[in-house]
Amino acid sequence: MAVIHRTTLKPTKLDLLTAWLPTRPWYAGGPGEPRLSKAGGFRLDDPQGEVGIEFMVATDTSGTHPVAHLVPLTYRGAPLQGAEHALVGTMEHGVLGPRWAYDGCHDPVLVAQLLALVEGSAEAQAQSVSDTPAPDVTRSCTQEGPLPSTALTAADDEEGTELSHPQGATLRLHRVLRPAPDGELSLPPGAIGHVAGAWRTPDDARIRSLFAVLYPASATGA
């Protein structure tokens, strides 16, 4: 299980995201600099114990109304070769030293563990407590057999990020989170799996939403 260190980060994760989020095609904040706060999320364990994996919900209040963004991140002790385009920034960790933070959709360790979560072979962990399952995270998958976790392509658009495989299912990440109507989660037509979670609004209301939706190989995921 990943160990959560109570220490300092310079710059902080939110500092890095303040500069990085407006460069994304799916960013839905205001026209000025983001005003971010951590609103929720969860972690996944790297089986090798080397890469930190976090799914952060960051709320931006820079616009006319708060917007919750889903930001999958990985934290590494050395640069990930070939992933320069996915680098969010570097930090100094008070215990672990230099850390390279990446957009996790382009990190094969996060992608493999996210698909393992969807298919039920990995368990979501609490965001800020060591060795504790995340009770708010749910998942489902009706496809039989393991999901392919290699040869995946990550593509961003104005709606989010799509992880696709030439002969496999497509996982669509919702980067801008929308509350489930009446608090009841329902999958879009054609979906065969999901990951859902919860976060808190600036006025401390608890919200649930789909984080990612799995579509079969024949579907577009749109």
Interval 116-125: pLDDT, tens = 999 999 999 9
**Whole-prediction pTM value?**
0.93
The predicted pLDDT at position 2 comes to: 62
Closest CA relative to residue 13, chosen from 44, 49, 56: 56
For residue 17, the surrounding DSSP H or E stretch is helix 13-20
How far is Cα 217 from Cα 119, in angstroms, rounded to an integer? Answer: 15
- Do residues 142 and 187 lie in contact, with contact meaning Cβ atoms separated by under 8 Å? no
Closest CA relative to residue 83, chosen from 47, 37, 119, 51: 51
Cα Rg of the chain (Å, integer): 17
Q: Percent of the chain at pLDDT above 90?
A: 77
State yes or no: pLDDT of 222 exceeds 50: no
State yes or no: pLDDT of 103 exceeds 70: yes
Domain ranges of the chain: 9-215
- Do residues 179 and 208 lie in contact, with contact meaning Cβ atoms separated by under 8 Å? yes
pLDDT band at 221 (very low <50, low <70, confident <90, very high): very low
When pLDDT is averaged across residues 194-210 and rounded to a whole number, the result is 94
The predicted pLDDT at position 59 comes to: 97
pLDDT tens per residue, range 133-185: 999 999 999 998 888 888 789 999 998 999 998 878 999 999 999 988 776 88
From start to end of the chain, where are the E strands?
9-10, 36-44, 52-60, 67-76, 87-93, 97-103, 138-141, 153-156, 160-164, 170-174, 193-200, 206-215
pLDDT band at 3 (very low <50, low <70, confident <90, very high): low
Winning range, highest mean pLDDT, from 73-87, 143-157, 181-195, 204-218: 73-87
The predicted pLDDT at position 184 comes to: 80
State yes or no: pLDDT of 220 exceeds 70: no
186 φ, ψ (degrees, to nearest 5):
-140, 140
